Amino acid sequence: MEASGKVVAIRLPENHPIFQVERGKRSEVARSWLDVGARLEQLDEKIGRLDEQISRVMELLEANPLDKSPSTQEQKNSFDKEAFLKYFE
């Protein structure tokens, strides 16, 4: 692999899992782990925003509960099964 891009030097404990990866492949594995970590961070931020939105929706619903009674229009349009079946007798 060609050495291109910037170098990041970090200190890790001796028992870090990256040291279980064979020499020569550690950079590639560490790079993929960093990419996964970055994606997880983005997902965590999105989940945080969704949680805030859900909280706002719940607050609105608690402040203004939905009317569960059928509307007058729904009552007018209700289906009368008995009347319908009489046409087939």
Q: In this structure, is residue 14 part of a structural domain?
A: no
Q: In this structure, is residue 9 part of a structural domain?
A: no
pLDDT of residue 85: 87
Global pTM exceeds 0.75? no
Q: In this structure, is residue 10 part of a structural domain?
A: no
Q: In this structure, is residue 87 part of a structural domain?
A: no
Cα separation values, 30 from 15, 16, 38, 65, 84, Å: 15, 11, 12, 51, 70
Q: What is the mean pLDDT of the chain?
A: 89
H helix intervals, 1-89: 26-63, 72-76, 81-86
Which residues form the domain of 46? 22-65
Domain tally, the chain: 1
Q: In this structure, is residue 71 part of a structural domain?
A: no
Q: In this structure, is residue 85 part of a structural domain?
A: no
The tens digit of pLDDT for each residue in 21-60 reads 999 999 999 999 999 999 999 999 999 999 999 999 999 9
Q: In this structure, is residue 13 part of a structural domain?
A: no
**68 or 51: which leads in pLDDT:** 51
Q: In this structure, is residue 29 part of a structural domain?
A: yes
